[in-house]
Every structure is written in C-alpha cells, then in structure tokens.
Amino acid sequence: MAAKFLSLACIRNESWTDLSPRPHYPSMVKYPKGQSPPDKNDEIEGSKSNALFTVIGMNCSACAGSVEKAIKRLPGIREAIVDVLNNRAQVLFYRNLVNEETIRQTIEDAGFEATLVKDEPSEGSTQICRIRIKGMTCTTCSTTVEFVLKGINGVKEAQVALATEEAEIRYDPNMVSYNELLEAVVDTGFEPTLISTGEYRSKVQLKVDGIMTDHSWGIVKDSLQALPGVQNIEIDLELQKISLAYNPDMTGPRNFIQVIDTTGSSHFKSAFYPEESGRESHREEQIKQYYRSFLWSLIFTIPVFLTSMVFTYIPGLKHGLETKVVNMLSIGEILRWALSTPVQFIIGWRFYLGSYKALRHGSANMDVLIALGTNAAYFYSVYTVLRTATSKSFEGTDFFETSSMLISFILLGKYLEVLAKAKTSEAIAKLMDLAPETATLLTLNDEGTVVNEQEIDSRLIQKHDVLKVFPGEKVACDGFVIWGQSYVNESMITGESRPVAKRKGDVVIGGTVNENGVLHIKATRVGSESALSQIVRLVESAQMAKAPVQKLADQISRFFVPLVITLSFATWFAWFLAGKFHWYPKSWIPSSMDSFELALQFGISVMVIACPCALGLATPTAVMVGTGVGASQGVLIKGGQALESAHKISCIVFDKTGTLTIGKPVVVSTRLLKNMMLHEFYELVAAAEVNSEHPLAKAIVEYAKNFKEEENHVWPEARDFVSIAGHGVKAIVQNKEIIVGNKSLMMDSNIVIPGEAEDLLAETEEMAQTGILVAIDGKLVVGVIAISDPLKSNAYDVISTLKSMNVRSIMVTGDNKGTANSIAKEVGIETVIAEAKPEQKAEKVKELQAAGYIVAMVGDGINDSPALVAADVGMAIGAGTDIAIEAADIVLMKSNLEDVITAIDLSRKTFSRIRLNYLWALGYNVFGIPIAAGVLFPFTGFRLPPWIAGAAMAASSVSVVCCSLLLKYYKRPKKLDTLEIRGIMIE
C-alpha cells in the first residue's frame, strides 16, 4: 500500500496531505460524569491528528519499509506513509493513545534520525465541500475532474463519483475557497452546483419579504447578530436571502424567524428559503431531458429508417423515392439529409459539447467516440449527396440512417441508464424521507406543567425543546423521554424488527415511529446533528469512497478511448487496402455499396461499439446498492474499501464485554475482607469508578446507588483520577488512595493480595464471573466484587456459523484468564488472549495479519479502538462508544452478533456482483470490438451495422447498472432468521 502511494508521489511530485482512506463518521462526544467538557481541541473528535517528520538515513525502499513497520507497531496509529525520495514520514494517529514524541523516538530506535517538522492541520481546520457535477458521461470525465481538483493548492483529498455525479473535496479554507473549487470544475467543462461547503454544520437560509432598503437590511442584520450563538450572517439582496450559521446549543431557526418578523413594526415576513434541487430532483430532471431528447430523435429517425430500409422494398414508394431531382440526386436522399441533420446537430449537440470539453483538457471520453462515429457517417453521406447532385453517372450510398439511428439508440441507452442509476440511490432517499414534516411543540411553565401546544415545522425544532409524540406519529428528532411510556418501532434506523419499550429517561431516535402511548420528549440533537442525519452522511460518504478494485477501471479509462480510435482507423484502413488491392472476392461487398463504404462501416462500428461507461459503472453502482441495502438492515458499511476487505475476512477477533456478552454487567456479590460498612465501601469505590466509561465501572456505580435514598446522588470528589486501560482505575477520594481493578493492577501497584481474596477470585472465574479487587490507602485488598455479564443468546450459534464459513474466531479481552476461558468454552472459541491491554489487542491483530489472515476486529469500547484501526476491517457494535464507532469500518446498529455474518455475506454478494460487472464490461469490449471490426465476416458473412453496434454499446451500460440493482433483493442467510427466532424464545 505504501509503495503505491510512494510511486504516486514520485509521479505527481505533490506533498502528502490527508491520509485517511475511510469516510468520516460524525463523532458524538461524551464526557465522564463529574467532569466538565474539555476545550474543543481536546475533544475525542479532535484526537485524530497528523504529524510530519523528516527522516535522515534512508537509502532505499527497504529502509522506508522498516520505518513504516516500526511506526505501525505503535498503538493508536491509523496510517503511516514513508517517502524515501523526500526523506519524510507522515503519520495519522489518535492523540489520546500515542503522541509525536513517542513516534519520533520509535523512528530513531529503528536506526534513523527523525525530526518533527510541524503538526499537519487537524480535522478542525479541514473542511469538506460537496459539489454536484452535471455532464459527466464516463470514467474519463470523472477522472479528469478529480485530477484537476487534486492539483489545486490547498486541496487535501478529492473524490469524484460517476454513479452519484458528485464530488467530495477535503480542503484547507485558509489556502483555497469553495468558489475556486467551483471555478476549477467549470474550467474542466462541466456544470457544478454547490451542495455544502463544510464551513458550518448548523446553517439555515431564510427568505425575507417586505424589506425595501439597505437600512432595513442593516436593522435586521443587527437584530440577528445580537442573538447569542449567531456565528456568521450573509445577505443576498438580489435574492432577498439571509444565511445564518449558529451554535445549536444556544439558538436556532425559530428564534431567527421570530426576531425578523417582530423587527420593523412587524412589516417583515421570513420563511425557509426554497431548497435548491437535491440529488433526486437533479436525477428527475436528467431523466426528463434524456426522455425528451430520445422522443425528438425518434420523430426524425423513424422516417429516415423507413425511407432507407423499408420503403425501398415497396414498388410504388421505391419509384417515388428514387425519382431524380438534379442529375443523380434523388428525392429519398434529400429527405434523409433533411431529417437526419437536426438529429446530428441539434439533438446530438450534447456529444459535440462533451467532446470539446474533454479534448480541451487533453482527454477523450465516450462523447468523442460517438461524435467521431456519427460525423464519419453523416459527412460521408453529405459527400455522396453533393457528388450525385453534380454528376450524371455517380451512384453512391448514403449512411444518414446510421448517424441518426446511432444517436437515437445511444440516447435511449442513456435514458435507461440514468433511470436505473436513480434506483441505486433509493436507500438515501428513503432515509431522508423518515424525518416528519411537522412536530407538536409544548410550552411548559416553571412547575413543568404544559400550558400550550403548537404544531410547527420540524425544521424549527431547537435543542431543549419539549415535543409531544402521539401514537402512530414519527419522532421528530433525537431526545429522551421525560413523560409517558410506549413502544417505539426503530426498524427503519437500526433494522431491529421488534418494537422497543420506552419510558422516562430512555433515549429516542428521530425518524422512528411511536406505536401506542403518548410521549413527551426533550430534544437533544436536531438538524444535522441527529442520528438520522449522521447515518445519511455516512451512507453518502460510503457511496463516494472508491473501492480499490475500481483502480482497474480508472487505469483502463486513461488509454481506452485513444486505443479504440486507433483500432477504428486501423480497421477502416485494413479493409480499405484489402478492397483496393482485391485481397478478398468482390462477392463480399454488398450490392448497395463499394469497398470504401464497406471499410467505413467496419471502422464506424468499431468506434461506436466500444463502451468505457460500463467499466466505470461496474464498481460504484454495486457499492451504492450494497451500502444502501446494508443501511436498511442496520449494517453501516463505510465505503468500497471496507466492502472489498470484508469479503476476504478469514479471521475475526472478538472483544468479550459488550460484544460476546450483553454488555450490561451487574454486581452479583460483594465480600469485604476488612471491618467496614458496605455503604461506606461503595461510597469510595463508586466515587472512583464514576469517571470511567467501562461497563464494569458503570455496573458498580449503578449497584452503589442502591445504598442511597436520593435519586441524583452526588458522589465525593475524586482527585488525581487515572484510568489504566484493561486494568482498572486509581483516584484519591476523601484523602484516601482508592485502587479498583484486576489482579495485574494490584501487583503492578505493589498491593498485597491475601489468600482469601485469591480463593474468591478463583470461585468467581469458575462461574464465568469477573472478580474486581479493591484496595484502600494503597496497602491491602479490602474487598472483592463479583460481576456477571450474561452471554448474548446467539453467541454460540454465530461462532458456529462463522466456522462453517471458514472464518476463524478468537477472543481477546482485558478480563482475567479464568473468566475469559469459561466464556470462550461456552461459545465455542478455542483461542483466547486474556488480561490484554489495548495495545496488546492491536499487536495480536498484527500478528494474525503477519500469519496471512485477513482480520476483522469486533468491539465496542475505547480500549478496542487501536485494534479496530489495526484490523483489515473494524466492526463497531452500534451501542458502543463513539471513538470505537469512529475507528471502525463497519457499524452494527442493532448490536446483534449475527450482523457480523450479515456484513460478511453482504460484502461477498456485493463483490461477486462487482466481479460479474467487470466480467461483462471487459468481455463485452474484448469480444464486441473484434466482431464489429469484421473478424467473423470472411467466414460467416456476418457484419455488425454501426447502428446495431451503437445499440449494443448503450445496452452494455444499462445491463451493468441493472446487474447491480439486483442486489436490492438481497436477503441475509436463512440460518440467521433461525438464530433470531431462537433469541426471541430465550428472552
């Protein structure tokens, strides 16, 4: 992988920028209880950083390889690329797991001199701009645009997707603006439309009526600027549009509309500005355009076809069409010329335009082939018509029907293609349709009593609003229940078929359906921050990301069209010479043409039968449908890279807590080894554990609440809190040092473990429970807490099914050996690594990779993130922590283990579809071009007329898209339905 990147850098001589191969998954940051939110730069989302090092002493690629391997062995390394030519190494890493100094020291330990040059811009200084690009017809078009965008100074990464006709650009706003990106696309000859700039996640556009003067605009702007949380205001006087960027925690669009409507003696009226055409409306317009063009071409082409191929066999009509007007010029030829000219130059103008734009930038696309082929037929026909009009003996054959029928069939093919491509993105459209249009807003008084109900546009919902959800209604935004109880159908978001019970304090997701009871919910995430918006963005990013296998199509597209043009001229020239020197019998030449015209037909057929579009659509259409199907089943796949790797998985490493087990451990027993009150014991332990995100810590805190009467008890302050991943925690509580964790932590801290505690640990391990040791004042273990985390009901069956799929299963956990072995034995896993730290989990993954396995890691916690990053495919349980979801390639929304099998099976089905697409696209060109060139003609007399060749070309693209669309009918393996039914029975 690094070698490929390195060779690319040498060719293009560009600096390394963003290294992330995965689409960005929006992180939802949580903070430990009892701690205030840190500064923005310290947030989890901001912990992903880039560092650039100068490395002295590298002489060859082997040196670069040793440096790269050394860096990648460190925990928290996401990617490392070493440039031996420029003596540089760029590293993408997680700052909460490793730092620049550790990386620098590691390079020096490998035998080279390293210096940190500078910190690359963090995620916060990188913006993502999305642009819709109109006019791309094949892979050459998208490759040209992508190359131009990547060449702009300040652009870190650019991806252009032919299937979605969109570009996603990661850029530094300090070096380049989105307007410059749009201008660059225009310069390539295509029409760009800005979808989003990435400047502000929370942004709203309002149309304001009633403002007549600049002074009035100034009053409105000042009034809005005075609102807390307003970050930026832009006014377009011509469109009467005002754009506001804001902090959703402090304000929202409802406040803006209220301020505008009450300013200027209530003469001004504001509303949401009509949204610009989205992907679906753009598709619809494109479909209508091709449909109209095809119908108009038919109106002219059908008469041309009839006069050239049908009426000539009807005696009366034949005589009329062959009536001479001037010299040898007939009425039929004049009619065909007149009818085919509008098709060639008006309806077919799009092909001339596309050819000009491509050739202007030194590339050639499908439009060039069509324009050359149809022009050859048309202008040769014009030549024969003019010659017959000026000669009394010349009798030539025109090919007007060839040019007009070619254009008609190609337009039909493009119409069917865009119709089919529109269906590949139905998953996103369905997700976006989940959000309700209206919501019921409640107004509460100081006592919490409802004093008013009001139906509002769902776009007006702001954070902390209280909403009423009636039975059968959709939940308008993410939030939590503050009153009522009901069952909520979450299948449209998570894929979970069973309704989920909701009561006070439970979280609800926007877009889900309330089944029976009335709920009052408090909004926590609205607009672009909601789970639904995040899923839509994830699926959109996944569909933009190219699978590595697509590089084949990109490489072929670079020389495909020039090669076809060369073959076309070679075919014409070979047949022309053969006819000129009588290398074949005259009987081969049809009676209606001469040897030159026969050669011309073969040359045109070669030119128009070749299809680069089918190659370009083979991968992205399958990826689009596959990721869409996955999203509908609760399996979010982050793009083609993850999809391609997942189908080759041969080994899966499972975390234990929350993955193989339910993840909701409970305290089952407590044994004190010192005379003290149980509530005092738990007061100290809970105060230390309340700051930890680990499920075992949460179980202890939850159990400790039983000893407190008040609902929201405040635990004593914990100072000098330290979390040792995979081992436990340390803190100072009430001036006492509290250490809570496993046996390894006690030994590392020089804490004496009495024999009684050892016996208690052995007992808990035999019962597949986890024993937690507690030491107070750093001297002696004073208590043992036994915690049980039940296995998921289908864990054994999932492991068994994976074995039948030739996938090896391994368990890696931070828990003790006894408990780990007991759990592994129950589920049927033979290889167990216990008491593993996060970096040891990542090391095990790398060991398996070195042994030749394609490794997937399934986990849910922060301590799993290094292994998730190190694995070929990281799978995060959807209910897990946000950093785990951020680090993973696949997110299992339902938190069901059987979805691991669904993800692998879906990726295998999708990739087999990609292979089939490539087989068809390559096979079509490999066999079609020789047939069009006349290889079979000497033996069988079979000749492919240009208009049939054009129809075949159009059909090839449609067939590839339709082949991908068959994935929409994907059904997960039947054995999983049996597992789910069994799981329900157990529950």
Catalytic residues: 655
Chain-centre distance for alpha carbon 173: 23
Report the alpha-carbon distance of residue 26 to residue 8 in Å, rounded. 30
Block residue for tokens 């506001």:
244
Other beta carbons within 10 angstroms of residue 966's beta carbon come to: 13
608: CB partners within 8 A, 6+ apart: 369, 370, 373, 374, 406, 410, 946, 949, 950, 953
Hey, how many other C-beta atoms are within 10 angstroms of the C-beta on 464? 11
Q: Are 15 and 5 in contact (CB under 8 A)?
A: no
- Strands of 99-238 (E only): list them: 113-119, 127-134, 155-161, 166-171, 191-196, 203-209, 230-236
CA pair distance 868, 890, nearest whole angstrom: 10
Burial 158-186 (b: 16+ CB within 10 A, else e): bbbbbbbbbbbbbbbbeebebeebbebbe
Q: Which residue, chain included where needed, has tokens 């540089």?
A: 88
Q: How far is CA 159 from CA 11, 164, 547, in A?
A: 19, 11, 12
Cβ–Cβ under 8 Å, residues 795 and 896: no
For 848-890, the three-class secondary structure string (H helix, E strand, C coil) is HHHCCCCEEEEECCHHHHHHHHHCCEEEEECCCCHHHHHHCCE
CA angle 545–549–554, rounded 5-degree value? 80
Distance CA 345, CA 809 (A): 63
Length of the chain: 987
Contact (CB, 8 A) for 170 and 92: no
* Beta bridge partners of residue 479, listed in sequence order: 508, 523
Helix (H, G, I), strand (E, B) or coil at 26: coil
Residues 6+ apart with CB under 8 A from 172: 121, 125, 126, 127, 154, 156
C-alpha separations of 765 from 52, 741, 820, 886 in Å = 47, 15, 8, 33
Q: Which residues pair with 468 in a beta bridge?
A: 440, 520
| CB proximity list for 370: less than 8 A, separation 6 or greater | 348, 351, 355, 406, 407, 410, 608, 950
